[in-house]
Amino acid sequence: MAAKSLREIRRAAAAGIGRRRCFSGDAAAAAAAGVAEGKVGGGAGKEVNLFTAINQALHIALDTDPRSYVFGEDVGFGGVFRCTTGLADRFGRNRVFNTPLCEQGIAGFAVGLAAMIVNEAAKFRYRSGNEFNCGGLTIRSPYGAVGHGGHYHSQSPEAFFCHVPGLKVIIPRSPREAKGLLLASIRDPNPVVFFEPKWLYRLAVEEVPEEDYMLPLSEAEVIRKGSDITLIGWGAQLAVLEEACEDAAKDGISCELIDLRTLIPWDKETVEASVSKTGKLLVSHEAPITGGFGAEIAASITERCFQRLEAPVARVCGLDTPFPLVYETFYMPTKNKVLDAIKATVNY
């Protein structure tokens, strides 16, 4: 199902009305039907938004594993985005509790339960010769533009963590994806950084199975089939790319759209197969273009598909500047920017 434009979403957010129904690809649809790979049940679901799907996943994780804990800033009363609502009341404040306003202290406290992110968690399994692991350490964090976050609370720092061997980095695009990927992350023996798009917490709405299910990590999903160009994205940017694909189709351009879902370790095979077919690639993300993860995708696919590429790999990303509050429209990789890049690449 096609998503509303980012501009419409923001207008709805500013007005305090509306909600966005998410488009879902084959794997997500199969999850709802109870036939996707992994642990997916066949029970009925109901329409919920993204923060509710996250909340369901956390309830299931705490209920199914007595060794699991949730702690961080404000999580005891539900958190700023309400993702942890009801957890402390149900599971007790020994397992769900607030911490001081100190990110380094939160991660450091996890030593024994898990470990600090870069210097400890990412290397724990390696330095023990695979004898130990972090036992399901998943660090949840909001990311990305929200319309009023400015230079601190609108950043997309995923590329920083993609540079750390030993970590996994996951970014969902919708409520159904968020619940299944979060449960898979929590149960993975490797430390996972799980970024949640702030724009979608309340505005993204779709049917989500109420039972326990997981979606596979490190497996990209082809959301839209096409033959002229491959588009790659993740998180909230998928809605922008989908809209650009629809407009490109009006001009006779067939776009194949892929949700990477897991950035590290990423599904090179799915992307390579698509680019081998289309001969062209465009990568888009909100983070600044220099050093963004799109550069890694471009380099890897150029190595793998050099003789089959018919045009340079295009990148439509954020600007190399702190995130500007009043100039957010100019900073963002909008639909029109993507559409222009699609046409330029196809006509190269």
Burial (CB count <10 Å: 0-12, 13-18, 19+), residue 340: middle
CATH number attached to the domain at 221-347: 3.40.50.920
Whether the pLDDT of residue 23 is over 50: the answer is: no
Domain with CATH 3.40.50.970 in the chain: 45-209
- Tell me the pLDDT band of 173, cut-offs 50, 70 and 90: very high
Q: Taking Cα atoms as reference points, which of 264, 275, 266 lies closest to residue 311?
A: 275
* Greatest C-alpha distance within the chain: 60
Residues near 33 by Cβ (< 8 Å), separated by ≥ 6?
42
Distance between CA atoms of residues 141 and 135, nearest Å: 19
Please state, in angstroms and rounded to a whole number, the distance separating the CA atoms of residues 35 and 81: 31
Indicate if the pLDDT at residue 108 is higher than 80: no
Selection from 9-18, 44-53, 56-65, 216-225 with the highest mean pLDDT: 216-225
Look at residue 2 in the predicted model and tell me its pLDDT: 36
User: Residues near 310 by Cβ (< 8 Å), separated by ≥ 6?
Assistant: 279, 280, 348
Its pTM stands at 0.81
Residue 127 has pLDDT above 60, yes or no: yes
Distance CA 172, CA 194 (A): 8
Distance, CA of 103 to CA of 117 (rounded, Å) = 11
Cβ-based burial of 118 (10 A; exposed 0-12, middle 13-18, buried ≥19): middle
Sequence-separated (6 or more) residues with CB below 8 Å from residue 92? none
Q: For CATH 3.40.50.920, list the domain ranges present in the chain.
A: 221-347
Determine if residue 35 is left, alpha or beta; phi over 0 gives left, psi from -120 to 50 gives alpha, anything else beta.
alpha
Least confident range from 33-42, 141-150, 166-175: namely: 33-42
Q: Does residue 20 have a pLDDT over 60?
A: no
CATH class of 45-209: alpha beta
Phi and psi torsions of 300, nearest 5°:
-65, -45
Copy the structure tokens of residue 75.
């999580």
d(CA 14, CA 10): 6
pLDDT for the residue numbered 67? 85
58-97: string of b/e by CB count within 10 Å (b at 16+)? bbbbbeeeeebbbbbeebbebbebbbbbebbeebeeebbe
Average pLDDT of the segment spanning 240-267: 98
- Reading the block at residue 95, the tokens are 């397992």
With cut-offs at 50, 70 and 90, classify the pLDDT of residue 105. Answer: low
Q: Which of 136-145, 230-239, 303-312, 338-347 has the lowest mean pLDDT?
A: 136-145
Q: Which residue has the tokens 């949840």?
A: 140
Element (H, E) at 223: strand 221-224
Contacts of 16 (CB under 8 A, 6+ apart): none
Mean pLDDT for 120-144 is 86
Comparing CA positions, the residue from 243, 264, 254 lying closest to residue 337 is: 243
Marked catalytic residue, from 103, 219, 310, 328: 103
Strand 204-209 relative to strand 221-224: parallel, antiparallel, unpaired? unpaired
Count Cα neighbours of 139 within 13 Å in the Cβ-side half-sphere: 26
From the list 73, 153, 296, 310, the catalytic residue is 153
Residue 44, classed as helix, strand or coil, is coil
Task: Give the model confidence (pLDDT) of 303-331 as tens digits.
Answer: 999 999 999 999 999 999 999 988 888 99
Cis peptide before 197 (omega within 30 of 0): no
Q: What is the average pLDDT value for the chain, to the nearest integer?
A: 85
According to DSSP, the residues that pair with 222 across neighbouring strands are 258
Element (H, E) at 286: strand 281-288
* Active site annotation includes 103: yes
What percent of the chain has pLDDT above 70? 83
Give 138's strand partners.
192
Predicted confidence band of residue 68 (pLDDT cuts 50, 70, 90): confident
Highest mean pLDDT among 124-128, 152-156, 255-259: 255-259
